[in-house]
Chains A and B, each alone.
Chain A
Amino acid sequence: AQTIHQWPVAEIKAVGSPLSLGCTIKGKSSPNLYWYWQATGGTLQQLFYSITVGQVESVVQLNLSASRPKDDQFILSTEKLLLSHSGFYLCAWSLMGNERLFFGHGTKLSVL
Chain B
Amino acid sequence: AQSVSQHNHHVILSEAASLELGCNYSYGGTVNLFWYVQYPGQHLQLLLKYFSGDPLVKGIKGFEAEFIKSKFSFNLRKPSVQWSDTAEYFCAVNDLLEYGNKLVFGAGTILRVKS
Report if A and B associate in a common complex. no
Q: Which residues of B contact A (CB under 8 A)?
A: none
Q: Which residues of A contact B (CB under 8 A)?
A: none
